[in-house]
Amino acid sequence: MAADLSPLIRAAADLIREARNILAITGAGISADSGLPTYRGVSGLYNGRLTEDGIAIEQALSAEVFRTRPEITWKYMRQIESGARGKTFNRGHEVLAWLEQTKPRVWVLTQNIDGLHLAAGSRNVIEIHGTMRRVRCVQCQRVEPVEDYSQLNFPPHCGECGGLQRPDVVLFDEFLPSDALGTLDRELRRGFDLYLSIGTSSTFPYILQPILQARTLGLPTIEINPAAETDISRLVSIHLPLGAAEALSRIADQLAAN
């Protein structure tokens, strides 16, 4: 018999109600409720199997392969974008956007490259792995938005200088974007009253670190993840073993009821 999670929902809602400054850390799990696959927060197309080119998806999406064989990287980025095309934000994204509108300060730190937080209305978003909704010229650094990769030539080239374009995402073995890291550092220094971990296993150090910081400072933390236990489940104040959209929807309903 499934456990009654209502007391945990009420406790999570109470923490959110009392908080003025919230950091929500999101991973592939929140986009899974929009129909996007969750593997590594990137593709979900292989789950450990080699690609048709005989290499792992991590290698196909690496800086080295893009440097030497950009058509390979673009081939699999096209597959990822095609799988996300037509998908839209869900109730989980909407609730976070609503919290930003109703609280003094709410930020989203996301590992996702799908752009769904911004589409749902959140504005304080740190896309730590970049976004596939932009392409960037490797020569002149010109950035332009792109909604549909099927309209691009492959590999695409810059209309200004003719240089090779790349998806504006962090490839494997690349450094994180300095502007995103700077924003994250600035906001962590300002501090938050409450930290949410939503749909992520928190395996990356920069995703785990805010939760560890909160624990050190004695600040409340909430994990929303359908997995029975992740690396941070024993560290958080409340662990909700639910999907992101269901959990956030139930929390929003509880907030509206009081």
CATH code of the domain containing 160: 3.30.1600.10
Domain of 81, in residue numbers: 41-85+134-169
Q: Are residues 123 and 197 in the same domain?
A: yes
Q: Are residues 198 and 246 in the same domain?
A: yes
Q: Are residues 243 and 216 in the same domain?
A: yes
How many separate domains does the chain show? 2
Domain boundary among 169, 194, 226: 169
Upper half-sphere CA count for residue 5 (Cβ side, 13 Å)? 18
- Residue 155's closest CA among 77, 82, 70? 70
Pick the catalytic residue from 93, 117, 129, 239. Answer: 129
- Residue 71's closest CA among 155, 149, 157, 152? 155
Looking at the domain assignment, is residue 20 inside a domain? yes
158's tokens:
């810059």
Looking at the domain assignment, is residue 229 inside a domain? yes
Looking at the domain assignment, is residue 216 inside a domain? yes
Q: Are residues 29 and 61 in the same domain?
A: no
Spatial distance between the Cα atoms of 204 and 192, rounded to a whole number of angstroms: 20
Spatial distance between the Cα atoms of 113 and 44, rounded to a whole number of angstroms: 13
Domain boundary among 169, 184, 217: 169
Q: Are residues 227 and 159 in the same domain?
A: no
Check residue 84 and report its DSSP letter: H
Looking at the domain assignment, is residue 1 inside a domain? no
Q: Are residues 246 and 189 in the same domain?
A: yes
Q: Are residues 198 and 124 in the same domain?
A: yes
Residue 157 annotated among the catalytic residues of the structure: no
**Buried/exposed code over 214-246 (b: 16+ C-beta within 10 A; e: otherwise):** bbeeebbbbbbbeeeebebbebbbbbbbbbbbb
Q: Are residues 245 and 191 in the same domain?
A: yes
Q: Are residues 189 and 154 in the same domain?
A: no
Q: Are residues 217 and 144 in the same domain?
A: no
Looking at the domain assignment, is residue 65 inside a domain? yes
CATH code of the domain containing 186: 3.40.50.1220
Q: Are residues 98 and 28 in the same domain?
A: yes
Q: Are residues 244 and 157 in the same domain?
A: no
171's tokens:
């490839």
Residue ranges in the chain whose pLDDT is less than 50: 1, 39-43
Would you say 225 and 30 are in contact if contact means Cβ atoms under 8 Å apart? no
Q: For residue 228, what pLDDT is reported?
A: 76
Looking at the domain assignment, is residue 241 inside a domain? yes
